[in-house]
Structure 1
Amino acid sequence: MRFIIQKKPLSTNRVIKELEVALITNFFLVLQPKPQPGDLIEIFRRFYRHWAVYVGDGYVVHVAPPSNIPGALVASIMSSAVDKAFVKKQRLRDVVGRDKYEVNNKHDDKHKPFKPSEIVQQAEKLVDKEFSYNLFSNNCEHFANELRYGVRRSDQTLPCLRFRRQMRDPHGTLKKRSSHQRSWWRSWWTRSSAAV
């Protein structure tokens, strides 16, 4: 018995569905707030928030893993697995994809932002440079905040860092010890953790 596999032409339903998705995506991008140069863009990925700096003409500068594979899921998996990334300049719509985004200059009340022209100029200088990446201490939010305010800060990692600190010292005993004892305890903890 022989099976003949025929290539089916695109069905009308599939074409209509793809057109609907494209129209909805473009319509959603039109409804988004119009960013100004120097604004921070918060992109709502499924499990985290990605940050970029708007530099004008529909482009953003952001930190991305060294992957040529497009897609937010791949980027999020890659970024947590690597210790280096690259600063990229890309169209906002390409970085956002189907995700929502908003202009979020949330620390303007705490920190004085640099002038928009300075932010854009500094961001443009960093394009295509390698970036030492660490999910907890040097990620895309740290990068964006440092460009706008001169302060490396990531609010989305604070709960993780608090949890990590709590796991290292669940009873708060490190606070009750002298600085010498704390440094001994930390070095012992590091050695024992590395051995596991």
Structure 2
Amino acid sequence: MGLKNSHPKLFPGDIVEYPRNKYFSHFGVYYGERDGVPYVAHLTCRDADTKIPLFGRALRSEVRLDPLELLGTKYRVNNMMDDTHSPRDFHTAVKQSIDEMMGQAVTFDILFHNSEHQATLFRYGVKRSEQVSGTVE
């Protein structure tokens, strides 16, 4: 991945990728700043002690806003589908979608609805996970 502890310039609606291990990353969408603190909207477990069971599902998940660096100090912008899909306007579509989803129960599924699926759904209106596609193929 070639990630460094750098802080790229972020624009609201950018997909932010945080590497977790050799195979998977966590994804969120840059939401903007609140009181000078940058925030990311991302799909995460509701409870810190929630474990992802063997089948890769967690019923207690939600979209949440967290400070950018709370999720990790190594990250990159990964607007992976910009060449094939037009990004939706942040203020008229993405922000509204994020605000509507905040705090609602969402079923996390590692193959069909993970943080990357949620991030691409917010940015492009299309659910897609390149890391799942690359692993399954």
How high is the TM-score relative to the length of structure 2? Answer: 0.82
Contact 1:61 1:124 in 2 (8 A): no
Q: Distance in 1 between matches of 2:41 and 2:106?
A: 13
1:34 is aligned, of 2, 9, 16, to: 9
Aligned position for 1:104: 78
Contact 1:61 1:89 in 2 (8 A): yes
Shift of 1:66: 2.4
Higher helix proportion (structure 1 or 2):
1
Aligned position for 1:95: 71
Aligned position for 2:46: 66
Q: Distance in 1 between matches of 2:128 and 2:40?
A: 19
Aligned position for 1:50: 26
Please provide the CA RMSD for this pair: 1.9
Aligned position for 1:131: 106
Alignment of 1:144 onto 2:100: no
Q: Distance in 1 between matches of 2:96 and 2:127?
A: 18
Alignment of 1:78 onto 2:58: no
Q: Distance in 2 between matches of 1:40 and 1:50?
A: 10
Shift of 1:84: 3.9
Mark the runs of 5 or more structure 2 residues left unpaired by the alignment: none
Higher relative CO (Cα under 8 Å, sequence separation at least 6) belongs to 2
2:87 is aligned, of 93, 97, 113, to: 113
Task: Kindly tell me the number of residue pairs found equivalent between the two proteins.
Answer: 125
Moved more, 34-43 or 116-125: 116-125
Mark the runs of 5 or more structure 1 residues left unpaired by the alignment: 1-27, 70-74, 163-196
Cα distance change on mapping 1:122 and 1:81 into 2, 3 Å: closer
Shift of 1:132: 1.6
Shift of 1:101: 0.5
Higher strand proportion (structure 1 or 2):
2
Q: Distance in 2 between matches of 1:42 and 1:123?
A: 17
Q: Once the two structures are superposed, what CA deviation does each residue of 1:127-175 show, in whole Å capped at 9, x if it has no partner?
A: 111112110011110000011111110010113333xxxxxxxxxxxxx
